[in-house]
Chains A and B, each alone.
Chain A
Amino acid sequence: AQKVTQAQTEISVVEKEDVTLDCVYETRDTTYYLFWYKQPPSGELVFLIRRNSFDEQNEISGRYSWNFQKSTSSFNFTITASQVVDSAVYFCALKGTASKLTFGTGTRLQVTL
């Protein structure tokens, strides 16, 4: 069975602070994919990134960066210089060799002025 743990239920930061959202996963598959999705207050789910198990390179996209470490089964997400528009619930998800996508319980990020 596969599992995704997002231990941080809610995080509150002041605008311009950096913030890291943690994601720890469990799977027996050797080939798997990890994803991050954003759910803003409007409710839709927005795809942010996909990373496969063979690619441990960190990725940066603007203010967003992701750190994938197989040794600790973690796929953490950092927002640099956070903005109010970053306020949302962020979900980490895992897909192994089966067709099913397993989500974590999400981390609610609140960015205030």
Chain B
Amino acid sequence: NAGVTQTPKFQVLKTGQSMTLQCAQDMNHEYMSWYRQDPGMGLRLIHYSVGAGITDQGEVPNGYNVSRSTTEDFPLRLLSAAPSQTSVYFCASSYRSSGAYSYEQYFGPGTRLTVT
């Protein structure tokens, strides 16, 4: 298994440009999510999905769109990049929580995005 993969590893954008960060997993996980990591702020949830066709907002969703057309893929779209979106982005996946049981999340290697 490749686990969770993310592309690209690094990206530089100009303000106003749009782009899509790719995330894929081959573990048949129902739950996928996107986080951003900023210095001193830990990881903050952007969007998440509990299955194909179902997405929901996290803590910091503004400026980002997601869709989940397949179980394997969960792309994150930046509509009009801003310098405040300079960050490291992590995608994660896990089995969907079952009743009172929660599974750990597996993280991709991250995408370092700089917006100038």
Query: A-B pairs with CB below 8 Å: how many?
Result: 52
Asked if A45 and B107 sit within 8 Å, CB to CB, the answer is yes
**B58/A100 in contact, CB under 8 A:** yes
Query: Which residue from B43, B100, B109 sits with its C-beta under 8 Å from A103?
Result: B43
Report chain A residues within 8 Å CB of B109: 43-44
Chain B residue, CB-CB nearest to A50: B104
Check A44–B110 contact: CB distance below 8 A.
yes
Q: Is the CB of B42 within 8 A of A106?
A: yes
Contact across chains for B102 and A44 when beta carbons are under 8 A apart: no
- B110, A43: Cβ atoms closer than 8 Å: yes
Q: Which B residues are CB-close (under 8 A) to A65?
A: none
Tell me the smallest distance from the CB of A59 to a CB of chain B, in Å: 14
* Complex interface residues of chain B between 70 and 116 (CB less than 8 A to chain A): 88, 90, 92, 97, 100-107, 109-110
A95–B31 alpha-carbon span in the complex (Å):
14
| Bound CA span A57–B107, Å | 27
* Complex Cα spacing A50 to B56, Å: 24
Minimum C-beta distance from A82 to chain B (A): 22
In the complex with contacts A99-B50, A100-B45, A45-B102 CB distance below 8 A: no
B106 touches A47 (CB 8 A): yes
On whether the beta carbons of B48 and A99 are closer than 8 Å, the reply is yes
Question: Cβ of A44 and Cβ of B107 under 8 Å apart?
Answer: yes
- Report A62 CB to chain B, min CB distance, Å: 18
Query: How far is it, in angstroms, between the C-alpha of A111 and the C-alpha of B41 when the chains are bound?
Result: 22
Q: Cβ of A91 and Cβ of B43 under 8 Å apart? A: yes
- The residues of B that contact A99 with a CB separation of less than 8 Å are 31, 48, 50, 56, 97
Closest A-B pairs by Cβ, 8 of them? A45-B107, A103-B42, A33-B102, A105-B42, A103-B43, A47-B104, A31-B100, A50-B104
| Residues of A in contact with B (beta carbons under 8 Å apart) | 4, 9, 31, 33, 35, 37, 43-45, 47, 50, 52, 91, 93, 95, 99-106
9 further A-B pairs in the complex, CB-CB below 8 A; given A44-B107, A45-B90: A35-B104, A47-B106, A50-B102, A91-B42, A93-B43, A100-B59, A103-B35, A104-B42, A105-B40
